[in-house]
Structure 1
Amino acid sequence: MPLPFLTADRAFDASAEDIALPFDDHDDWRRPYRPGPWRVAAAAFLLLFASFILFAGMIIAFAGAVPGTAVCLGLALVVIACALRLLRVGAWVSRHGVRRVGFITTTTVPWDQVAAVRTVQQPVKWLGFPRTVQGQALIVVRRGGEAVPPLLTDSNADFLTRGEAFDRAADTVEAWGDEYRRD
């Protein structure tokens, strides 16, 4: 089963041409970078936990306790859904705008409402925890002045030890903004 949210398409292939918008169909929502090792490791841990819950549910089913089996199955499905949602978290771009997908909420800003997309130095959350560190963040400045949480930070689960990947992803999102933003 293909998982398109895990692929970065041709943007990071060594043989791909060095262009900012390498995608064939700009109407599809794309994440212009690969998920980071911390995010993938957390999702893998959740899927491993779900497999243990399913195994426990199978043992309970063989023991003949149907309500316990249903609880285990329901809990495993919730954990699997959380792992898949965790893999979708990040910044997504298309011809229509830029989208910040969080674990619970999603914010979409059309390109005609974007004044600028830029990288700034500011305190950022470390791996999404309340602790902040000084770092870089890719922010969207709206025309109306509404605050949008940072799209990417160099201390999130995708870029914690990958500064070069953060720079490449930020440049790619900025290129999408320059291409489709109306001044």
Structure 2
Amino acid sequence: MPLPFLTADRAFDEVTDDLPLPFDDRDRWRRPYRPGPWRVAMAALLLLLASYVLFAAVIIAVAGTLGAGAVCFGVALLIIGCALRLLRVGAWVSTYGLRQVRFFSTRTAPWAQVVETRTVQQPVRWLGLPRTVQGQALVLVRRDRPGDEPTPMLTTHSADFLGRPAAFDRAADGIEVWADEYRHA
């Protein structure tokens, strides 16, 4: 089974001046970086929990309580869905625009609405929790929201980049290349 998110870093490592965006099919939504170890570890723990709940559902169903077994099976499916959604969280790019996928929402900014993408020093949330620390963020300034604060797309202290500053720089540079390529097109 191909796992396209595993090739994202390798593709950006091989960037040359001839080919600033190393993907053949640019119309597909793709994440220009690999999911970070914190995100993958949380998803793995959720999948481990789901396996225990599925095992409990089988035991409950075999014991004769099919309704309770079905409820446990539903809970396991909910946990699996949460793990998969957690792996999809992040910034995605295509020729259509820049998409920010969060756990409960998804926002897409067409390239025509993007004024600027830049990396700034600012207080950022640590692993998405309310606690803030000083870090870097890739912010998006949109044309259709001139008075709003710039939207942080990536931060150095998110689940993808905590402890990986080089990966953050590479991902931010990649998104900025996409923005420069398609913002004026």
- The within-5 A match list for 1:85-96 is 85-96=85-96
Q: Counterparts in 2 of 1:57-136, with a 5 A limit?
A: 57-136=57-136
Q: Residues 9, 153 of structure 1: CA spacing in aligned structure 2 closer, same or farther, 3 A cutoff?
A: closer
State the shift of 1:9 in Å: 6.9
Report the CA distance between 1:12 and its aligned residue.
4.2
Paired residues, number:
181
Offset of residue 143 of structure 1: 1.2
Match of 1:176 in 2: 178
Aligned residues of 1:115 and 1:143 also touching (Cα < 8 A): yes
Give yes or no for contact 2:137–2:156 (8 Å, CA) kept in 1.
Answer: yes
Write the letter of the residue equivalent to 1:95: T
Deviations 1:122-164, CA, capped at 9 Å, x for gaps: 1000000000000000011011314453110000000001000
Residues 87 and 6 of structure 1: CA distance in aligned 2, closer, same or farther (over 3 Å): farther
Measure how far apart 1:62 and its partner are: 1.2
Q: Secondary structure at the match of 1:43?
A: helix
1:20 to partner: Cα distance: 3.1
1:36 lines up with 2:33 in the alignment:
no
Whole-angstrom CA distance in 2 between matches of 1:6 and 1:69 = 36
The 3-state SS of whatever aligns with 1:8 is: helix
Q: Which whole-Å CA distance do the structure 2 matches of 1:66 and 1:148 have between them? A: 51
Q: Sequence identity, in percent?
A: 66
Residue 52 of structure 2 is matched in structure 1 by 52
| Residue 10 of structure 1: how far off its partner (Å) | 4.5
**Counterpart residue number, 1:157:** 159
Runs of 4+ in 1 over 4 A off after TM superposition: none
Residues 46-97 of structure 1: CA distance to partner in whole angstroms, max 9, x if unpaired? 0000000000011101101001100110000000000000000000000110
**TM-score of the superposed pair, with normalisation by structure 1:** 0.93
Letter in 1 for 2:103: F
Where in structure 1 are there 5+ consecutive unaligned residues? Answer: none
* Consecutive unaligned residues in structure 2, runs of 5 or more: none
